[in-house]
Amino acid sequence: MSAAAAGPVGPVRGAVQRWTRVSAGFTTGFAGLIAAMALVPVALSGNAVQEMTTLLTFVLMAVMWNALAGYGGLVSVGLQAYIGLGAYATVWLANRGVSPYLAMVIATLFCGAVSLPLSFLVLRFRGAQFAIGTWVVAEALGIYVSFDSSLGAGTGTSLTQLDAYSQGSRQNYTYWLTLAMTVFFVGLLFVLLRSRLGSSLQAIRDDEEAAASVGVRVVAVKRILFVVAGLGCGAAGALTLANILFIEPTSIFSVNYSAYMIFMVLVGGLGTFEGPIIGAIIFYVIQNQFSSNGTWYLVALGATAIAFALFLPRGLWGELEARSGLRFMPLGYRLRAARASGEGGPPP
Amino acid sequence: MTWINDIVQGITLGGFYGLLACGLALMFGLMRIINLAHGDLAILGAYLVFLLLEHWHVSPFIGILPVLPVMLLLGYVLQRTLLERSLRSGLLVPLLTTFGLSIVIQNLLEQGFSPDVRSLGQNAGSIATSSWQITSKLSISTIGALTLGVAIVIFGLLQWFLSRTQAGRQMRATAQDPDTAELVGIDSRAVYAWATAIAVAIAAIAGMFLAIRSTFFPYAGPDNLIFAFEAVVIGGLGSSLWGALLGGILLGVAQTIGGQINPEYSILAGHLVFLLVLASPRGGLLTLGVGGLRRARAARGVTT
Amino acid sequence: MSLLAVESLELRHGLLEAVRGVELTLEEGETVALVGANGAGKTTLLRAIAGAHRPSGGRILFDGRDVTRLRAHDCVRLGISLVPEGRRLFGDLTVEENLLVGSQRRHGGHWTLETVLAAFPMLERLRDRRARTLSGGEQQATAIGRALIANPRLLLLDEVSLGLAPLAVEAVYESLATVIAQGATVLLVEQDLTRAVSVAERVICMLEGRFVLEGRRGELTREQITDAYFGLSRGAAA
């Protein structure tokens, strides 16, 4: 990057640049990774495919929670409402003859539709009222669902319609749908953040009242994020059902999901794009490697959370970004000084 | 007229919720910390009383007395080591810390005490089971009345402490503006630590009452936590401490009446009342009003 | 021995240098005014002396004791009190509570609730009013009273006239004169040059984190001060 030798007076011509070499390289690599991941069912065993599906659902949940909390400043303790709704709506639809995988997609949309009116209730608040409000909504939904005997009531239910597929096919189709959904929502978030919405969000994060005073439609912006998170978590719920096959109200609507989301995002890096993905991978690894150790694994999980909170509060990616100034995803703006010949620096 | 009986029962249940919510409200009001480990600290208190009662056969009401200074110390240390540091990194980090703490406490309790469900009801003797027959239709359980009474006393003491003592004044000042509080000679870190100490000690008292009127086990913390949070939010944030008790009482009444309609509906009824209060214009029973809350937040430099 | 000695002080906001190479001494009983444009570093310097801002270099000595790394509440106990910019009262506390909250359990000292109310008569009838309902002048009086009640040996005042109507500023400075007459050592930051020069024996001008002009009241001309204020000449140090 060449700097113009500007004099003490007179303007320096510059151009706003959104892509850097690093971010361009990384994005290309990322696209390659997704292509590679699509081939997983071909290359790996059924068990591994199922594990990868689990990992991807964690990534989806973490990215959604980060969208609300990291970018929207809304700490939700109630996204499990949509996880549960997504799962149960899938069962409901499948019981009425809808093909299971189509049912999952429709269930996702249903969750988005539910999140819209709910947003009018809870988006009046911030902070603790918002957090507890969303938690209570999730609990209430879970109890309500547990009354419905056609959905298995308190003992739970499963997506028996998936028995129509062989185990291998079911695992593969579930994986591909999960991959598609995860890529879709991560991509959707990326597009939103690059758009004017992204700048509005930054403004809101810095000073909500000041943002409103320059015309940022604060609540509308938050509502968009809220509905996206509802959609994404609805998808995660439907996919979790397809992955673990059996669900019950207390577990699929459990606040533990929120706790895991908090862990994944804060360990990975709140408010960063890459952070939740890293955090989901870490969480998945801890779950996988150590869950056989019973309660001690949980103690280790808790201790890890505390350690990160004390020593790496910005999360792994947050620390990396802060120290190196590296941005892998082209989400920011860079000002490039004009070249000596007078042109503005062109973006690639 | 069993409704009157239900309302009275709900009020005494609310006393317990209020007691559990008290420490939460204190920590949130002062430091904006949402303590996800609060329920587990209450259960820890119950287990400490249980431990004491294994060797020393007295009533839990006596057993709690030596446990209180231990919990005070625990709260103080917790604040000075974990929470103080977490607060400096932003308001979300304490969520992660208290989440971690919650899991650690639950699982250490299971390791130390086994997952068995226990109760301190027998140790409390007849108090746990007796009741006063006021009229033919109306009776109040002794333990319920006692819980409510203790809750009122504790809330009253705390309120008196905050309004009328120098230390309480300093706590209120620090809640408003910790930076300026330092400038007038208040050690804000010590203030925070004492607040957490008090909050944890009161949680232990709530835990003891839970153990007497009901049962407890290592993972019982989170079950009750949501009720405590509901009580705080129903009562209204940014207002006086009494809001948490009033919120608890409203929640208790809602749950009891809902349970009358159908035992399965009790908790859901509580949630619905919570959502109704939240949807109402003021958003809470004793809320300062949106302007007041925003002012209070602005004074703290908080936009979330 | 000077009451306050600041040696080669360096203060930063993150990576940005706010104050560099500042040397300052204050004798007991002196009143010194610190003037300068916005962003010159005056507030930062005052906050550092009060213990609210950690220096990145240099020393601060109070009564011979190194207080560089001391936190603000410890500085108050030693006798340094700051009236911060913008008053920063505790809005929900009453005037009386605001005043009392600053009192230290130290024996002796002229300033008590009664004497402070006597020095600021307008506050007497406002005792039970919530601080956020007061006017600017009333808030300023309360803020100064709150700092005084700790019986400081060094009183730091940051822009007490900011945002106040002229009459209110008049009242504040009248009370300030009483305080100074009591023998307090005062370091005040003031945008109003006339006021600053009228009350202080010594005037220091700051620009971009450095002291650029220093002198006694009679010695410096208005032109010299205004030039230094705007950085139009690197003025002669006294």
From chain C, the residues in CB contact with B299 under 8 A are 91
Answer whether B175's CB lies under 8 Å from B193's CB.
no
Least CB–CB distance from A309: residue in B34, B93, B279: B93
Instruction: Report the pLDDT averaged over residues A159-170.
Output: 82
**What pLDDT shows up at residue A104?**
93
What torsion do the CA atoms of A112, A117, A123, A124 make, to the nearest 10 degrees? 180
Q: Which of B179, B183, B192 to mutate to test the interface with C (most CBs of C within 10 A)?
A: B183
User: What would the pLDDT profile of B111-136 be if each residue is shown by its tens digit?
Assistant: 899 889 999 888 877 777 788 777 77
Residue C216 predicted with pLDDT over 80: yes
Predicted pLDDT of residue B245:
94
| B52-61, B292-301, C161-170: least confident range | B292-301
What's the pLDDT score for residue C221?
A: 76
Q: Say whether residue A37 is in contact with chain B using an 8 A CB cutoff.
A: no
Smallest CA–CA distance, residue C199 to chain B, in Å, is: 24
Supply B74's token pair.
Answer: 């625990």
Q: Could you give the ipTM of this predicted complex?
A: 0.89
Residue B300 has pLDDT above 90, yes or no: no
Q: Is B32 on the interface with C (CB under 8 A)?
A: no
Q: Cβ separation of B169 and C100 shorter than 8 Å?
A: yes
Q: C58-79 b/e with 16+ CB inside 10 Å = b?
A: bebbbbeeebbebebbebbebb
- Name every chain C residue with its beta carbon within 8 A of the beta carbon of B291: none
Check contact C-A (3+ Cβ pairs < 8 Å): no
Q: Average per-residue pLDDT in chain A?
A: 84
Pairing, β A246-247 against β A157-158: antiparallel
Q: Is the pLDDT of residue A1 over 60?
A: no
| Higher per-residue pLDDT: A153 or B212 | B212
Using the beta-carbon criterion (under 8 Å), do C90 and B176 form an inter-chain contact? yes
Q: How far apart are CA B89 and CA C101, in angstroms?
A: 28
Minimal Cα distance from A70: which residue of B? B92
pLDDT tens-digit map of A303-332? 888 999 889 888 898 888 888 766 666 666
pTM passes above 0.90: no
Does the distance separating the beta carbons of A121 and B278 come in below 8 Å?
yes
| Each residue's pLDDT tens digit, B218-270 | 999 988 899 999 999 898 876 678 999 999 999 999 999 999 888 889 999 99
Residue with tokens 């650029």: C212
Q: Is the pLDDT of residue C238 over 90?
A: no
User: Which chain C positions have a beta carbon within 8 Å of B183's beta carbon?
Assistant: 50, 52, 72, 76, 81-82, 84, 88
Average pLDDT over residues C125-131: 91
* Bridging pattern class, strands C80-83 and C154-158: parallel
More confident residue, A209 or B158: B158
Query: Distance between CA atoms of B100 and C166, rounded to whole angstroms?
Result: 56
Nearest CB to B279 within list A121, A140, A255: A121
Selecting from A129, A259, A303 the residue whose C-beta is nearest the C-beta of B283 gives A129
Phi and psi, residue C54, nearest 5°: -75, 120
Please work out, in degrees rounded to the nearest 5, the angle formed at the alpha carbon of residue A116 by the alpha carbons of A115 and A119: 80
Task: Determine the average pLDDT of the residues in C167-184.
Answer: 86
Question: To the nearest whole percent, how much of chain A has pLDDT over 70?
Answer: 88
Q: Give the C-alpha separation, C179 to C204, whole Å.
A: 21
Phi-psi region at B198: left, alpha or beta (left = phi > 0; alpha = psi -120 to 50): alpha
Mean pLDDT confidence for B152-161? 95
Q: CA angle, corner B266, sides to B264 and B271, nearest 5?
A: 120
C interface toward B at CB cutoff 8 Å? 50-52, 71-73, 76-77, 81-82, 84, 88, 90-93, 97-98, 100-104, 132, 146-147, 150
Q: Kindly state whether B86 is in contact with chain A, defined as any CB-CB distance less than 8 angstroms.
A: yes
Q: What integer pLDDT is reported at residue A333 of this predicted model?
A: 62
What pLDDT band is residue A340 in, cutting at 50, 70 and 90?
A: very low
Q: Which of residues 302-331 of A touch B (CB under 8 A)?
A: 302-310, 313-314
Checking if the pLDDT of A294 tops 70, the result is yes
Scanning B35-64 for CB atoms below 8 A from A yields 36
Chain C interface mutation, best of B163, B164, B184, B189, highest count of C Cβ atoms under 10 Å: B184
Show which of residues 87-146 on chain A sit within 8 Å of chain B, judged by CB atoms. 121-122, 124-129, 131-133, 135-137, 139-140, 143-144
Query: At A2, is the pLDDT very low, low, confident or very high (cuts 50, 70, 90)?
Result: very low
Q: Which has the higher per-residue pLDDT, C39 or C12?
A: C12
Q: Is A27 on the interface with B (CB under 8 A)?
A: no
- Please give the average per-residue pLDDT across C100-115, as a whole number: 80
Q: A interface mutation test: which of B34, B86, B99, B276 has the most A CBs within 10 A?
A: B99
How far is the alpha carbon of B185 from chain C, nearest alpha carbon, in Å?
Answer: 4
